[in-house]
Amino acid sequence: MESTTAQANELERRVDLAIAIADVEKEVEQRLKRTGRNVKMPGFRPGKVPFSIVKQQYGDQARHEVLSEQLDRVFGETVTEQKVRVAGYPRIEPKTSESTTHLEFTAIFETYPEFAPGDLSAAEIERPVLEVGAAEIDKTLDILRQQRVSYEDADRAAAKADRVVIDFLGKKDGVPFAGGEAKDYPFVLGQGMMLPDFENAVEGAKNGDSKTFDLTFPADYHAKDLAGQTVQFDITVKQVQGPKLPEVDADFAISMGVADGDVTKMKAEIEANLKREVKRRIEGKIKDQVMEALLKANPISVPASLVDMEIQRLMQAARQDMEQRGMKTKDFPIQPEWFADQAKRRVTLGLILAEVVKSEKLQATPEQVKAMVEETAQSYEQPEEVVRWYYAQPQRLQEVEGVAIENNVVAWVLGKAKVTDKAAVFDELMGQKQ
């Protein structure tokens, strides 16, 4: 077996492989003899089938298997000897050859990029700063009350935050269009369930009111036949209900999981959970900036084979998500190009992170993993059970270890970059509408 290596471009390599025909035929014959000992055919005793018949029946399969094994072996020996890091799988192509003693092939494959982590001294990162106090706790308490809102009939004009029940019929050029009709349809004004112009038309109406109005759909509306089109809606308001927020009392505390209804205890739990959530979101914003800084500082090429594999993983995840939502994937064909940019970014970051971790020795320690598991467990009623749950399954610990490694990378980047603390706005940090 022989091989030679050539470089086609930055990441692609071509290896010429030569395999002795005599070696292949010798191994094929030995394999067929072993196969013949167990072959059963009508008219012959087990193991007594003539070799010529065994060869005729199984020769092609044996030759294919032997050749594949020989190619795998010589390819593996070549890249190992030359210390080439192969990305993905090689594509083997036969070569036209006049040799009577060897079969010749070309293996085409990609390699991992070789690079050293780039300079991060010019990277600028803003670190959000927010202390959780009484105002933040009160805002969170208001949000929790909003989530438990009830509604009562109101004999007045509909206003923001009211729930209305309506009948509506949409027409385009006087003809009803698909999806434009509903009976007893409920929605809350101001929550964005309907288009703004639709909600504006309903606001101010009372029980029993009917009206007709024009509405122009946005140019990017999901229904292409309606995008940018002006239609007419007929509506009838059948019910107006005003919101009623629950009182912050023992019953509310019990609904929040505080068994004895102690409001003070409930607020303490809200504060603890809020601090954990604020910390998590701040870390997330910092991490996003760190990843962008790493991408900018390391403009590397990535193997297309790895990107293709990541696209397939993302497509499969999307299919599973659709199926869980009750959607039929055949009705919504998923296109690879939808995931191309995301896949390339993920692969690029993965390669950069791996190199940084390796070169800077940023692997996670058992102590780090344990601390992260215990911190996560504190948000549950029985933290000891959660800790045992994590340690009962190695895969769960590996996921925590991955997060710990990312945290180490973030800390390393922050030590290299220009970091500026900036006061964060609670509503913006928590993603709440103001």
Which pLDDT belongs to residue 49? 84
Neighbours of 233 (CB within 10 A): 20
Which pLDDT belongs to residue 9? 63
In whole angstroms, give the CA distance from residue 231 to residue 174. 8
Domain boundaries, the chain: 2-111, 124-132+267-430, 149-244
The CATH architecture of the domain made up of 2-111 is 2-Layer Sandwich (3.30)
Superfamily, domain 124-132+267-430: Trigger factor, C-terminal domain (1.10.3120.10)
Fold agreement between 2-111 and 124-132+267-430: no
Q: How many alpha carbons lie under 13 Å from residue 33 in its C-beta half-sphere?
A: 6
Q: Are 314 and 306 in contact (CB under 8 A)?
A: no
Which pLDDT belongs to residue 1? 42
Which pLDDT belongs to residue 371? 94
> Which residue has 């092939």 as its token pair?
105
Q: What does the DSSP assignment read for 198-255?
A: HHHHHTT--TT-EEEEEEE--TT-SSTTTTT-EEEEEEEEEEEEEEEPPPSSHHHHHH
In whole angstroms, give the CA distance from residue 316 to residue 310. 10
Its sign, for the CA torsion 247, 251, 252, 255, is negative
Q: What is the dihedral of CA 258, 264, 270, 276, to 10 degrees?
A: -110
Q: How many alpha carbons lie under 13 Å from residue 239 in its C-beta half-sphere?
A: 14
Q: Are 11 and 86 in contact (CB under 8 A)?
A: no
In whole angstroms, give the CA distance from residue 134 to residue 157. 35
Q: What is the dihedral of CA 81, 83, 87, 92, to 10 degrees?
A: -30
**DSSP-H helix ranges across 165-227:** 196-202
Tokens encoding 159: 């206003």
Neighbours of 85 (CB within 10 A): 11
Tokens encoding 396: 């769960």
Number of DSSP helices (H) and strands (E) in the chain, helices first: 12, 11
pLDDT in tens, the chain (434 residues): 445 555 556 899 999 999 999 999 999 889 888 888 888 888 888 878 888 888 888 889 999 999 999 999 999 999 999 899 999 999 999 998 888 899 999 999 999 999 999 999 999 999 999 999 999 999 999 999 999 999 999 999 999 999 999 999 999 999 999 989 999 999 999 999 999 999 999 999 999 999 999 999 999 998 889 999 999 999 999 999 999 999 999 999 999 999 999 999 999 999 999 999 999 999 999 999 999 999 999 999 999 999 999 999 999 999 999 888 887 777 778 899 999 999 999 999 999 999 999 999 999 999 999 999 998 898 888 999 999 999 999 999 999 999 999 999 999 999 999 999 999 999 999 986 54
CATH 3.10.50.40 fits 149-244, yes or no: yes
What residues are paired with 91 via a beta bridge? 108
